Amino acid sequence: MKYFKTYCIALLVLTTAFSCSDDDSDTPNDPTNENPNTVAGNYFPLTVSDYWNYDVENTNNTTSETTMSTDNLYVISETAGVYDLDVNNGLIANGTMDSYLSNVSLARNETTLISNGALELPAEISDLIDFEININNIVLYDTEANNDVELSSNSSSVQQDFNGVPVTISYTLSSKSVDFSEEMMINGSNYDNVLTTKLVLNLNVAATLSVQGIPFNINIIEPQNVLVITNYFSKNIGLIKAEANTSYTISPTAISALELAGFEINVPTSGSTTNIQNLTTYSVN
């Protein structure tokens, strides 16, 4: 009986100890479990004459052909807290994200970096469908946002001609928070306090065709993410890396329908390109 009583007391002590341990570590309201706001700070210094140099690697995933180049991105002006950037002395940008940044104006406050302007589509897409996307308050990062949260979104549609076919192009450009890392190794260099975000362009191309006198609606390009740019911003430095993936696929059903309607497809029916830019040198105030 004495042994049984001692066993019960020991069991009660152990159970209580484990219960307390679980409560301390797993309680949702425990402040020690909350993600501290360690991301506060300036993740894109913007002063006139600040610059960033990048190595740019562009790979055609269909042919496996890779080309190497460089970009020089820099701040050219500031008016009432709105900044404009340029690249390569006004010449074409080799990095997809550099092209974005040199075509928008940037506004920064204590927590966000906001872009306004127009997005020029990468050549892989513009060779297929060429139009500009209006950018209205697209947030490139928000230091107060949780991971995996949509930061902003623009949607619209335009009418255009596709290979002789009148089409309606509907698109959504959105930005999203991805992650925060206290340190990250990129291109052989170690960076502290890195914010990762994404820009995503979703595209749909629809048309009304007439086959043997019967009209019907068809998606030439089904809704798909044709451009995804993953950006890495380091505190007090700016953009240290951007990886852009461009891809599209024309619907096989649409190809057959276009041929039946008497249209020829004289553009590639699919494409995929990866564009990576890594920071090499920089100067910021």
Q: What is the mean pLDDT of each run of 10 residues along the chain (285 residues)?
A: 38 38 40 52 96 97 96 97 97 96 95 93 77 93 96 94 85 97 91 97 90 83 96 97 96 86 81 96 96
Contact 54, 278 (CB under 8 A): yes
Contact 244, 56 (CB under 8 A): no
Instruction: Output the pTM of the full model.
Output: 0.83
The pLDDT assigned to 23 comes to 43
The pLDDT assigned to 135 comes to 95
Buried residues in 33-50 as b, exposed as e (16+ CB within 10 A): eeeeeebeebbbbbeeeb
Q: Is 259 left (phi over 0), alpha (psi -120 to 50) or beta?
A: alpha
Round to whole Å and give the CA distance between 189 and 194. 13
Residue type for 279, please? Answer: L
Short-list 194, 206, 241, CA closest to 56:
241
The pLDDT assigned to 58 comes to 97
For residue 83, give every residue at least 6 positions away whose Cβ sits within 8 Å of its Cβ, in sequence order, or none.
46, 75, 77, 105, 106, 107, 108
The pLDDT assigned to 76 comes to 98
The pLDDT assigned to 126 comes to 79
DSSP letter at 251?
-
The pLDDT assigned to 262 comes to 80
For residue 32, give every residue at least 6 positions away whose Cβ sits within 8 Å of its Cβ, in sequence order, or none.
none
Residue ranges of domains in the chain: 52-283
The pLDDT assigned to 155 comes to 96
